[in-house]
Amino acid sequence: MSRKAWAMLTAALLLLAAGVYAWTLPPSPPQAATGAEQERKPRTTLRLLQFKVEIREQVLAMAEDYMREHPDIVIEAQVLKDYDTTLITRFAAGEAPDIFTVKSYSDIQDWAPRLADLSGEPWMEQISPAAVQGMTVDDRKLGFPMSIEGYGFIYNKELFAQAGIKEVPRTLGQLRTVNEKLKAAGIRSYAEGYKEWWILGQHLLNLPFAYEENPGSAIQSLNQGTRQLGELKYMDGFFDVLDMTVKYGQGSRSTLISYDDQVADFAAGRSAMMQQGVWTMETIGRINREQHIGMFAIPLSENAEETALPVGVPGYYVLNQNSPHLEESKQFLAWLHQNGDKYLVQSFNSIPAFTDLTADNLGPLAADLADYVRRGQTIPWAHALWPSGSQTELAKPLQDYVGGGVSREETLQRLQQVWDTQARLSGKGEAVEGP
């Protein structure tokens, strides 16, 4: 992000600070200390910001456990819905966190000047190779990977069986057939939460980029203006799938459905599929532990051999290099790795990005993800390479398209305008002329 863009964004976001919606863990001491003890060793407060709201309770419990084991430390843990806005605002206001999370390689690059180099930390050698590239800038390793995740269409096996569907689809044609069979059986195909920008403008839109033979090269060409979004090989397939989710789902109403409502609708058995990932397993289980589910890759072509599952790291813990408590923050990450089986795997219910941690018995979604990884049928989270801030903006034309009245061609034009603007603002669109 350019300095000018950063300054403009910071000024705007300061006006929004009062409206931030967050869950906060109050810094109450886990055990009382005598006046003499407090005077002898003042307690250190670490501020931790986290964006994954689906594991809010687990993050807060983790912080409580750490404070119980380290009575000289207070962790002010917040799990934020309006995360990006809050993070920038906190730094601008001089209230920067000590520990926070970033979502993608683009974010790592943008925040790199403010991040501590963790290359020498003892747990670094245990990180899975797939997670290293996304956190490395100029040979500095800047992150602690939270997990490895994947997403696709999660499906209800019982509803598939009721409709006479014996195999998951691997091509666009097979996906259409599945939808028609479900419709004939009186079963709604999809529960989609297109009110959320990331479901539509990040995860689903990632597919035509990730299916490119060289996603990085394709994205660079787009940034430089030598290629257009409509020229991506799988863009038509993307719109075909999007159209199916609307036609066989809840129509234009999908833009009013939140993530929570999407998962609840699917877990209640009111739809056969939803576009989501392994992170939904615990929520689904809380609503309906008896449901038999699985996950399959979303096809964008008629070639079954091309169909693969997007797999990547959803986020990294990073440290503020200017924190007055940098060493204490490093000790927290070391503790988190040492207790990774309890927190990263069991509590967060996620597949660890560390080679010394195991991921047994995490449920059917994790098992299906592991099968795709084992077979080598994976594609990257290419959205991590998009210009900073583009995901939220790209979702808007797509939401209007789902809402109806906007053509595919007009939507592509609007997506292209958003891309060119964000590439220019982020400093990646050298060959893209400004207004």
- Domain membership flag for residue 166: yes
Average pLDDT, the chain: 88
Question: In this model, does residue 318 exceed pLDDT 80?
Answer: yes
Q: Within this chain, do residues 88 and 197 fall inside the same structural domain, yes or no?
A: no
Mean per-residue pLDDT, 324-337: 98
Domain count, the chain: 2
Question: In this model, does residue 189 exceed pLDDT 80?
Answer: yes
Lookup result for tokens 């297109």: 194
Dihedral class, residue 26 (left if φ above 0, else alpha if ψ from -120 to 50, else beta)? beta
Q: Within this chain, do residues 129 and 154 fall inside the same structural domain, yes or no?
A: no
300, 334, 352 - which closes a domain: 352
Question: In this model, does residue 255 exceed pLDDT 80?
Answer: yes
Q: Within this chain, do residues 123 and 159 fall inside the same structural domain, yes or no?
A: no
Share of the chain above pLDDT 90, in %: 68
Question: In this model, does residue 288 exceed pLDDT 90?
Answer: no
303, 331, 352 - which closes a domain: 352
- Domain membership flag for residue 361: no
Mean per-residue pLDDT, 122-144: 90
Share of the chain above pLDDT 70, in %: 89
Q: Within this chain, do residues 156 and 128 fall inside the same structural domain, yes or no?
A: no
Is residue 68 very low, low, confident or very high in pLDDT (cuts 50, 70, 90)?
very high
Question: In this model, does residue 13 exceed pLDDT 90?
Answer: no
Mean per-residue pLDDT, 332-360: 89
- Domain membership flag for residue 390: yes
Mean per-residue pLDDT, 61-73: 97
Is residue 69 very low, low, confident or very high in pLDDT (cuts 50, 70, 90)?
very high
CATH number where 199 lies: 3.40.190.10
Q: Within this chain, do residues 323 and 304 fall inside the same structural domain, yes or no?
A: no
Question: In this model, does residue 238 exceed pLDDT 90?
Answer: yes
- Domain membership flag for residue 399: yes
Q: Say if residues 132 and 275 touch (Cβ distance below 8 Å).
A: no
Q: Which two tokens stand for residue 3?
A: 């300095």
332, 352, 372 - which closes a domain: 352
Mean per-residue pLDDT, 146-159: 94
Mean per-residue pLDDT, 239-268: 97
Which is more confidently placed, 10 or 234? Answer: 234
Mean per-residue pLDDT, 107-130: 92
Query: What is the model's pLDDT at position 131?
Result: 83
Global pTM reads 0.72
Query: What is the model's pLDDT at position 429?
Result: 66
Q: Which two tokens stand for residue 384?
A: 């991590």
Domain with 78, as residue range(s), is 3-145+314-352
Query: What is the model's pLDDT at position 41?
Result: 64
Q: Within this chain, do residues 158 and 288 fall inside the same structural domain, yes or no?
A: yes
Question: In this model, does residue 30 exceed pLDDT 90?
Answer: no
Half-sphere exposure of residue 235, counting CA atoms within 13 Å on the CB side? 15
Q: Within this chain, do residues 294 and 403 fall inside the same structural domain, yes or no?
A: yes
- Domain membership flag for residue 396: yes
Mean per-residue pLDDT, 277-300: 90
Q: Which two tokens stand for residue 106?
A: 């683009």
Query: What is the model's pLDDT at position 310?
Result: 94
Q: Within this chain, do residues 166 and 289 fall inside the same structural domain, yes or no?
A: yes
Q: Within this chain, do residues 34 and 154 fall inside the same structural domain, yes or no?
A: no
Question: In this model, does residue 22 exceed pLDDT 60?
Answer: no
Q: Within this chain, do residues 106 and 58 fall inside the same structural domain, yes or no?
A: yes
- Domain membership flag for residue 362: no
Question: In this model, does residue 197 exceed pLDDT 90?
Answer: yes
Mean per-residue pLDDT, 108-130: 92
* CB burial of residue 430 (10 Å; 0-12, 13-18, 19+): exposed
- Domain membership flag for residue 365: no
Query: What is the model's pLDDT at position 31?
Result: 54
Strands 140-141 and 136-137: antiparallel
Question: In this model, does residue 27 exceed pLDDT 70?
Answer: no
- Domain membership flag for residue 377: no
Q: Within this chain, do residues 217 and 113 fall inside the same structural domain, yes or no?
A: no
Neighbours of 94 (CB within 10 A): 6
Calpha distance 336→342 (Å, rounded):
9
Question: In this model, does residue 3 exceed pLDDT 50?
Answer: no
Q: Within this chain, do residues 391 and 271 fall inside the same structural domain, yes or no?
A: yes
Calpha distance 420→434 (Å, rounded):
9
Which is more confidently placed, 134 or 401? Answer: 401
Strands 293-296 and 273-277: unpaired
